[in-house]
Structure 1
Amino acid sequence: MSVTIDKSFVDHFQADVHQAYQRMGSKLRNTVRVKNSVKGASTVFQKVGKGKATTKARHGKVPVMNAEHEAVRCDLRDYYAGDWVDALDELKTNHDEKMVLANAGAYALGRKTDDLIINALASGEELIDHNDTGLALGKVMAAFEGMGNRDVPDDGQRYAIVGWKQWSELLQIPEFSNADYVGDDDLPWKGTQAKRWLGTLWMPHSGLPVADGIRSCFWYHRTAIGHAIGADVQSDITWHGDHAAHFVNNSMSQGAVLVDDAGVSCIRAKE
């Protein structure tokens, strides 16, 4: 086998990994603030406080709102997902092993993207915590009321992620299950169940934290979480003669941070 890989093949493989990552790798990337092409090991997201409108005297100066500004720092980390493809194994399989690894690497990095966002969500302090019950209607209404009291915008950019157990409990609530699911054209993620309810896009997620049988679910506004990307998902394929195999490596540099604690509610439910 040649010790080099045709450049067009490498470019095609990289494109396949990127497409797989965009298609099925991350469920939450499109639900938060994203800053692309970050230079350096960290970046900042701006948090702007509330302004106040006042009157002014005729011919007087317009009062200044003096809205508070806060720079929230987000650190980036490098992540890798790689594996070997033995040259002779490729002759014995009836599938494209490199494509299998492309998908596996993209999905692994996608799960890491979601982990970063979920960890940022979990750093919030607003809790709806009745550990002796599942995801009942009362908990949902308590979180809904809290977000309204904190003036979280009801502008179609609210999202809620729950565990699969909690999703099945929601389906048993008439106020939730009697409404039709959104059509496929309205979903930003293919192959994922989702439903709009209370001005929010609800969806199940298997990666939410669970401790002592208590699952943490999150209801949040897009602007509450910042996701920084230094290097998007990319791939590298190199031939190692001593292994008689190609090493397929996928990598990215990303980070996530809680920007506005008021925009996140954590709903804990018993499983």
Structure 2
Amino acid sequence: MTQNIKEWFIPRFETEVHQAYQQRTTRLGDTVSGGGTFVGDKCYFPRLGVVEAYENVRFAELALANADQDFIEVSAKAKFIAFGLYDPDHNKYSIATAVEYGKAAAAAIARAEDRAIINALNVAGTVGVAPIGGGAPVPVTTIGDYDTPADLDLIVEGITLLGENEAFEGEDITCVTPFRNKVLLSMDPYLAKSDMKGNRPWEDVRWRHTQMLPKPEADGVDIYLYARSAMVSAYNDQMTKIDERLGASLTDMNGYWLQVGAAPRDGRGIIRIKSKATFPITRRATDVNGLVGILPA
């Protein structure tokens, strides 16, 4: 068996997993709301309708401000991260090795949560979101097309559509794009202009990029813009340790398994933006006030 691995390698691995995950911010995990409850292989997220304040006649009995309420049920099947430690390598294992294994496990956990959120966004974009209390799913707002790369104008249109819905006023807004689209948007001269007023709506957006976004067409990709309260996600922080001998083999199995769940909660707070997936990176010309074009001789 790996020499003294129980005394030093596994404890250091466990410590690194927890520390690395707590210190590491997932790309999407901090852009959504939480609050899920795990029961078996399911996760339940509470959902509440809009509640309004009201005035009451003096000495009259208060009316209950009840609102529509239900629970979103999503699958939360266990996800495993397990490593095999091979006995003949026992002289090569070290604290540094345990740290690397721990970082790799923490990164896998973070990607699992990101993937769950992206899958939930894809469900919202392609199927819709059921209203509170049940019923046919309501499609989310979709703009753009798969023949044209999404530009800043289209992103701002999506921001405007969310802003016009009072329910999401003042909330964090996130835009998730592929890296190529992120680069194209960063080259838009308006993103870097310093002579504009402070009212630049794209500055309030939390920009995230990932290559895991769905591609409904061969050269098309779905970009998502959403309010924090419109999406929910949770992971079961009671991670279960895996630490056992693999039968008669010369290997110890070490790792964790956990549960992750995510779902769209309110389709009104989600905008799907269709975009071309592959395109050349070109910079738009910057307009200069007072500059007159010179015609060729």
CA distance in 2, matches of 1:74, 1:4: 42
CA distance in 2, matches of 1:116, 1:59: 50
**RCO higher in structure (CA 8 A, sep ≥6):** 1
Describe the SS at the equivalent of 1:35: coil
What amino acid sits opposite 2:85 in the alignment?
A: V
Change (3 A) 1:63 1:148: farther
Change (3 A) 1:141 1:37: closer
Work out the percentage of aligned pairs sharing the same amino acid.
21
1:164 to 179, 182, 188: 179
Moved more, 50-59 or 201-210: 50-59
> 1:213 offset after TM fit, Å?
1.6
What TM-score do you get using the length of structure 1 for normalisation?
0.79
Return 5+ residue gaps in structure 1 as ranges. Answer: 180-195
1:145 to 160, 167, 170: 160
What TM-score do you get using the length of structure 2 for normalisation?
0.73
Other-structure match for 2:211: 206
Other-structure match for 2:117: 117
> Which structure carries more strand by proportion?
1
CA distance in 2, matches of 1:167, 1:222: 20
Change (3 A) 1:90 1:156: farther
CA distance in 1, matches of 2:81, 2:170: 37
Describe the SS at the equivalent of 2:162: helix
Describe the SS at the equivalent of 2:183: helix
Map 1:1-271 → 2, pairs under 5 A: 1=1, 5-6=5-6, 9-24=9-24, 26-35=26-35, 38-52=38-52, 66-92=66-92, 96-124=96-124, 125-178=140-193, 197-211=202-216, 212-240=218-246, 242-271=248-277
Moved more, 22-31 or 92-101: 92-101
Aligned residues between the structures: 255
Describe the SS at the equivalent of 1:34: coil
CA distance in 1, matches of 2:186, 2:236: 39
What amino acid sits opposite 1:226 in the alignment?
A: V
Q: Is the 8 A contact 1:224 1:258 kept in 2?
A: yes
> 1:79 offset after TM fit, Å?
0.2
CA distance in 1, matches of 2:187, 2:115: 28
Return 5+ residue gaps in structure 2 as ranges. Answer: 125-139, 195-200, 278-297
> 1:66 offset after TM fit, Å?
5.0
> 1:217 offset after TM fit, Å?
1.4
Q: Is the 8 A contact 1:49 1:67 kept in 2?
A: yes
> 1:252 offset after TM fit, Å?
1.0
CA distance in 2, matches of 1:158, 1:34: 16
Q: Is the 8 A contact 1:14 1:234 kept in 2?
A: no
Change (3 A) 1:178 1:56: same
Change (3 A) 1:66 1:34: closer
CA distance in 2, matches of 1:261, 1:36: 18
Q: Is the 8 A contact 2:9 2:95 kept in 1?
A: no
Q: Is the 8 A contact 1:3 1:239 kept in 2?
A: no
Describe the SS at the equivalent of 1:123: helix
CA distance in 2, matches of 1:99, 1:52: 51
Q: Is the 8 A contact 2:2 2:87 kept in 1?
A: no
CA distance in 2, matches of 1:246, 1:136: 51
